[in-house]
Structure 1
């Protein structure tokens, strides 16, 4: 077959049998990929509602409690690029299974934790498993489903799991904590992970491994830079007591280290023959725009879950389970919207859907920012969360297809990992900023009417409202990025195939 280039400027996937014909059991293949993605995503939130019970059982300090969440995010976000490239070089299905087994083993050990150190170590290893599994899951869609209707449908299901997983995690965490034990928010991963790992070699096609070597200098600087950035952001945000940590020595050192390491990473990647991140992937405006859109969407989701969960429990007095159930309309709206986007993208192209989705997310988050302690669920929360869910679902499918369209098959693992990296790092960055805005407002409100201020319902509602308003501003920025960068036409997603460049 003669070598050619797609309109996106990067070689598209080769015409291999697996991608051309699809898996022999596409329904089961999609179920395996979607279940793995759901498990990885929901684990970022399923632990949240169990934190008070974890603290009581293990005697965790306040900072230790924070790191039950952050230990997972740190290793997950920091190792995504390395996990994506490992799939390209060692085999995506193989790494998918390895990541699932590691994730399941860490979940089992974490469920038996009797000390803070034990639990935090298990959560960090969970993040390593997730960093291997997540990019492999997305790139396996490109391996098992050819561009066109099959891949659009698969991407719609994958996107639904990526978005709805957070809400499902809150619901599952509330139910397991209320009716069984907090330990089951970890144990539940074990049978699911083992079942998916056993099914994977039977239903998923494996692409051929690609020649090349690991870019060790790039891996050290890239992984270290992202990890330092996530650590700094996780430690920096203003907390509920109104104290800002942006000026702390460890935060400043983390940010300086992140800048130095990431600059070194870019320099190394421009000169490496076996780059961890081929910079040619970022030279395409559509693809870079899609990564930025994913970062903005990550902020929107992280911010909404964070503020609304605290609002419902701290202001309205909802239980953990009731808070999780309250997200069900959002989840349904997201699922329907993702499925609709998968059907529409081959007809209208990605740009209109991205514009509609980002505009809907902006409107929904702005509407949510009007919420107060006197609002009701039906009048103040139901409508805007559903509108936001429609917008997020409408964004994820076309953004994923845009980012992966025309990518050389040899690079699909790292291209997939960049989407997850954008969502994780964008979410961590955005939430640190949004949290600072919200908690500063809460502290200022409390200071205005008490000699010894303790934030009340009005103070908390005002702060969360301000945080959601800033969140809607980031969604609006995502709309502007879409206008400025996305030019991909529906014809560009038609699925012409080309060979990967020689390593």
Structure 2
């Protein structure tokens, strides 16, 4: 495999750093929430919406953001999203009430959706399908794993030393640096060749996805029904308009549908696992929030070490077999972790070993599902492919967390360490069931659709 040329290597570093920022931001705010509640004098209900407002707008806008990047320019959407993220973070750092902070978090989600979708689309433009893309996706996976732990550690350190507001100002500084680097490293002329926009499709898709996200995090059946109705209307609109937001022919590709389903199943198991492990370390094993975050450090180090090797595994085993291997490791790690948890155990005897297996599984499932979901994307569809796979991952995370937390809460009953452990074990076994379903689905995976011919090389980020 040839080395990545210097300009593309710099662009990849910038885009991977964006992934790190997105994951790190969520982890930092979660650690800072107790201090936010104490300072703004709000309870758990208000604090939950500080976290959920971000998830709702982020999940609801990813599809629109990806398509907008295709139509209006990838770098333009990327830098615009970063600017909004920075401005919203500054508003969060200055907020004097829970309502103002919640509004700032919602605006952060909007900015993150546009910046994140455009960053992933730019990666697809820069690296045609094949070993180079697999390596780039491995860098994304590594930065995601590192961002989770780095966010937890920085959240604890910054909150203890400088207060919770400093976590928002860190976002401002990082987003500003990334935006300035983008102007130097990314070409400003990339966009799809097609013109036109689908306003009705954009409205129904965004509102439907937003209501569905609200229903999942707020447990509102009425919002869920309304969201599904709007998504049904969106599907009908796409069959009738001349230039649909999501062309039906794209969704008709079996490999794409399967890859997005696998990606959602991966997040339904992985995302709640991080939450439950942190909860178990703090509430049952009586570790501090910072120590609980550091407990996930070995897992993240394995992610960082494994991610660069994923491309070689795909070359040696094939995409389908590597996908099955990744989900097999995910299933084994989830079952092992569930059976190892104990109310009177230690981190070393309960969490450490299975977390290393999960650390090896994470980059395998993330890289392979992302590669399969984007293999058939033409240059003018990169933003669309980005929006679809990111939406699948986001809704998989939200749905998995809602289901597994509900299982843990129902199984716990009382607040004793033994009862909490039983609840965490039951939830992790449900997550293992999601992984098992993914193993079975991955066995049906055939080779992805042939990728379009690689674009001629020009300036960095220019597909023409």
Same fold, TM-score > 0.5, yes or no: yes
- C-alpha separation in 1, matches of 2:446 and 2:344: 44
Q: Does 1:471 align with 2:431?
A: yes
1:178 is displaced (CA, Å) by 2.4
CA contact (8 A) 1:439 1:463 kept: yes
1:374 is displaced (CA, Å) by 1.6
Q: Does 1:306 align with 2:289?
A: no
Deviation per CA, 1:255-306: give whole Å up to 9, x if none: 1101210110111112222211122222222111111111111112221111
How many residue pairs were aligned?
A: 452
CA contact (8 A) 2:118 2:383 kept: yes
Q: Alpha carbons of 1:214 and 1:22: their partners in 2 closer, same or farther (altered >3 Å)?
A: farther
CA contact (8 A) 1:46 1:170 kept: yes
2:343 counterpart residue number: 373
1:252 counterpart residue number: 221
1:162 is displaced (CA, Å) by 3.1
1:101 is displaced (CA, Å) by 1.0
Q: Alpha carbons of 1:77 and 1:328: their partners in 2 closer, same or farther (altered >3 Å)?
A: same
- C-alpha separation in 1, matches of 2:54 and 2:5: 32
Match of 2:314 among 345, 349, 368: 345
Deviates most, 122-131 or 406-415: 406-415
Answer 1 or 2: which has greater helix percent: 2
Q: Alpha carbons of 1:208 and 1:215: their partners in 2 closer, same or farther (altered >3 Å)?
A: closer
Deviation per CA, 1:238-269: give whole Å up to 9, x if none: xxxxxxxxxxxxx1210110121011011111
1:211 is displaced (CA, Å) by 3.0
Q: Alpha carbons of 1:294 and 1:194: their partners in 2 closer, same or farther (altered >3 Å)?
A: same
Please tell me the root mean square deviation across aligned C-alpha atoms, in Å: 1.8
CA contact (8 A) 1:74 1:231 kept: yes
Deviation per CA, 1:392-436: give whole Å up to 9, x if none: 111111211111112111111011111110111111111111111
- C-alpha separation in 2, matches of 1:337 and 1:289: 24
TM-score (norm 2): 0.94
1:218 is displaced (CA, Å) by 0.8
CA contact (8 A) 1:143 1:205 kept: no
2:183 counterpart residue number: 201
- C-alpha separation in 1, matches of 2:140 and 2:248: 26
Q: Does 1:264 align with 2:233?
A: yes
Q: Does 1:282 align with 2:251?
A: yes
Q: Does 1:496 align with 2:456?
A: no
CA contact (8 A) 1:364 1:387 kept: yes
- C-alpha separation in 2, matches of 1:253 and 1:435: 21
1:437 counterpart residue number: 407
Q: Alpha carbons of 1:420 and 1:208: their partners in 2 closer, same or farther (altered >3 Å)?
A: closer
**Runs of 5+ unmatched residues, structure 2:** 457-464
2:372 counterpart residue number: 402
Q: Does 1:328 align with 2:293?
A: no
State the secondary structure of the residue aligned to 1:25: helix
Instruction: Give the 5 Å matches for 1:111-150.
Output: 111-150=93-132
- C-alpha separation in 1, matches of 2:6 and 2:283: 50
1:71 is displaced (CA, Å) by 0.4
TM-score (norm 1): 0.86
Q: Alpha carbons of 1:208 and 1:47: their partners in 2 closer, same or farther (altered >3 Å)?
A: closer
- C-alpha separation in 2, matches of 1:458 and 1:64: 29
- C-alpha separation in 1, matches of 2:56 and 2:400: 15
**Runs of 5+ unmatched residues, structure 1:** 1-20, 237-250, 447-454
1:387 counterpart residue number: 357
CA contact (8 A) 1:32 1:196 kept: yes
1:81 counterpart residue number: 63
CA contact (8 A) 1:22 1:146 kept: no
1:216 counterpart residue number: 199
1:22 is displaced (CA, Å) by 7.7
1:361 counterpart residue number: 330
